[in-house]
């Protein structure tokens, strides 16, 4: 960037030079070169080499390597040639071994994602079944559901939350360069990018603090935000993570040292953990509402999609309720003497049937538990 007269360039001018690739700040920080024309030509040559390699100030910047008398220059004019600071190579016997090593991180990432998704589906299925059967006064633990059952419960119901999650991830990836674009267009890139970092960090901290207040000291003012608390927690972790990402990716433009890798790893793990807590919380709330709404809907439509049950019994059973009908079989030589109809199947385990009367209503009717035995015969028919 050319400056008129004797005006001394500001920090924002330096940052603009970095954004446009007019200095060698990619390797040496925010340094502005003053001196002879030959020095300026050397700087421009270094920047041109950076352009050839696709490096700009908005690219991740490697740790600085200071050139000295014992460090030969590479082919591109930067410190560190082909033989300088050589790292010992990991011994690999064959090309197949190299490909196997390269696949290990990918396989680990896939396995972790599969484990996470399975855990979310299991937790959703558990919360859903607990809310649904709890509406009828039946504990989900009594039904002996397996992990596969819980996952199957959540497959259909989790489609919308997973689709929403994917949409928001793609949307955030699409706008992640907005601060960079704003910094380039503002004419004051350093000041603008610092403003974005500060705003993101402040917003994330405020959102997490609001969630902490809501959960620790419930008040009438915080009550309307209880349902949104998990989403506020996720948003707070995301904005803090974005501020941390800007600090790591653009230290030259911001005029700071890049945070240490260990600090970044600890910070990332902590923010991911907070986001996962918020996501699990949101999934649990959605599952509970889904289960309760589905149970109320089933009651409202009188269980039209439930199988119809007819029970034959040797002995009299105490099945009574709105819509349930009891009768006696007077024919001679019949094993079963009593018959009960007007029942719907709520759930079944390996040795028990959970039945509802046709006109079952919450807080009025009971759920009948019939044990499968030689003295009972249960016929299942399609709901008419």
Per-residue CA distances from 297 to 44, 135, 286, 325, 383 (Å)? 72, 11, 16, 24, 17
Strand partners, 343: 309, 357
Per-residue pLDDT of 250-291, as tens digits, reads 888 888 888 888 888 899 999 999 998 998 888 888 888 888
With a CB cutoff of 8 Å and minimum separation 6, the contacts of 226 are 214, 218
Residue 117 — very low, low, confident or very high, per pLDDT cuts 50/70/90?
confident
Give CA–CA dist 186/209, Å, rounded.
Answer: 32
Give CA–CA dist 234/331, Å, rounded.
Answer: 68
Most confident of 45-49, 114-118, 212-216: 212-216
Instruction: Single out the residue of 84, 79, 161, 87 nearest to residue 124, CA to CA.
Output: 161
Q: Rounded to two decimals, what is the model's pTM?
A: 0.63
Q: How far apart are the first and last CA of the chain?
A: 81
Q: Is 356 strand, coil or helix?
A: strand
Q: Give the DSSP per-residue string, 84-100.
A: TTPPPPPP--SHHHHHH
Per-residue pLDDT of 365-376, as tens digits, reads 889 999 888 899
Strand partners, 377: 312
Per-residue CA distances from 181 to 19, 110, 278, 349 (Å)? 11, 33, 30, 60
Instruction: Single out the residue of 202, 281, 302 nearest to residue 234, CA to CA.
Output: 281
Per-residue CA distances from 241 to 86, 217, 229 (Å)? 34, 26, 18
Per-residue pLDDT of 134-164, as tens digits, reads 999 898 888 888 888 888 887 766 777 778 8
Give CA–CA dist 319/297, Å, rounded.
Answer: 24
Per-residue pLDDT of 314-350, as tens digits, reads 988 888 888 888 888 888 888 889 999 989 999 988 8
Question: For residue 198, is pLDDT > 90?
Answer: yes
CA-based max dimension of the chain:
120
Higher pLDDT, 175 or 67: 175
Q: What does the angle CA 328 – CA 333 – CA 337 come to, to the nearest 5 degrees? A: 20
Q: Is 152 strand, coil or helix?
A: helix
Instruction: Single out the residue of 148, 149, 115 nearest to residue 129, CA to CA.
Output: 149
Place of tokens 């970092």: 197
CB of 66 within 8 A of CB of 47? Answer: no
């Amino acid at each position: 960037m050319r400056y008129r007269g004797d005006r001394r360039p500001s920090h924002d001018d330096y940052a603009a030079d970095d954004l446009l690739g007019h200095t060698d700040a990619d390797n040496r920080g925010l340094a502005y070169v003053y001196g002879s024309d030959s020095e300026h030509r050397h700087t421009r040559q270094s920047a041109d080499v950076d352009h050839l390699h696709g490096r700009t100030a908005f690219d991740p910047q490697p740790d600085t390597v200071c050139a000295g008398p014992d460090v030969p220059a590479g082919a591109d004019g930067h410190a560190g040639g082909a033989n300088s600071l050589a790292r010992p190579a990991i011994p690999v016997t064959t090309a197949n071994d190299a490909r196997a090593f390269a696949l290990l991180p990918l396989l680990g990432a896939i396995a972790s994602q599969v484990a996470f998704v399975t855990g979310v589906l299991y937790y959703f299925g558990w919360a859903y079944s607990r809310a649904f059967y709890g509406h009828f006064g039946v504990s989900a633990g009594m039904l002996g559901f397996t992990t596969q059952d819980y996952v199957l419960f959540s497959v259909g119901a989790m489609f919308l939350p997973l689709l929403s999650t994917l949409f928001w991830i793609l949307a955030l990836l699409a706008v992640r360069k907005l601060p960079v674009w704003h910094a380039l267009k503002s004419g004051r890139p350093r000041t603008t990018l610092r403003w974005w970092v500060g705003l993101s960090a402040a917003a994330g901290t405020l959102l997490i603090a609001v969630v902490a207040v809501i959960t620790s000291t419930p008040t009438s003012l915080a009550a309307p935000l209880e349902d949104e608390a998990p989403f506020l927690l996720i948003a707070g972790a995301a904005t803090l993570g974005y501020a941390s990402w800007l600090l790591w990716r653009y230290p030259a433009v911001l005029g700071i040292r890049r945070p240490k890798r260990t600090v970044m790893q600890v910070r990332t793990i902590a923010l991911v953990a907070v986001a996962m807590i918020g996501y699990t919380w949101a999934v649990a709330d959605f599952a509970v509402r889904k289960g309760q709404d589905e149970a109320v809907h089933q009651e409202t439509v009188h269980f039209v999609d439930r199988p119809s049950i007819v029970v034959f019994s040797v002995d009299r059973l105490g099945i009574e309720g709105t819509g349930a009908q009891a009768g006696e079989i007077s024919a001679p030589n019949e094993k079963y003497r009593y018959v009960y109809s007007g029942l719907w199947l709520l759930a079944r385990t390996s040795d028990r049937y959970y039945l509802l009367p046709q006109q079952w209503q919450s807080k009025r009717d009971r759920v009948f538990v019939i044990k499968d035995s030689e003295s009972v015969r249960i016929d299942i028919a399609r709901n008419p």
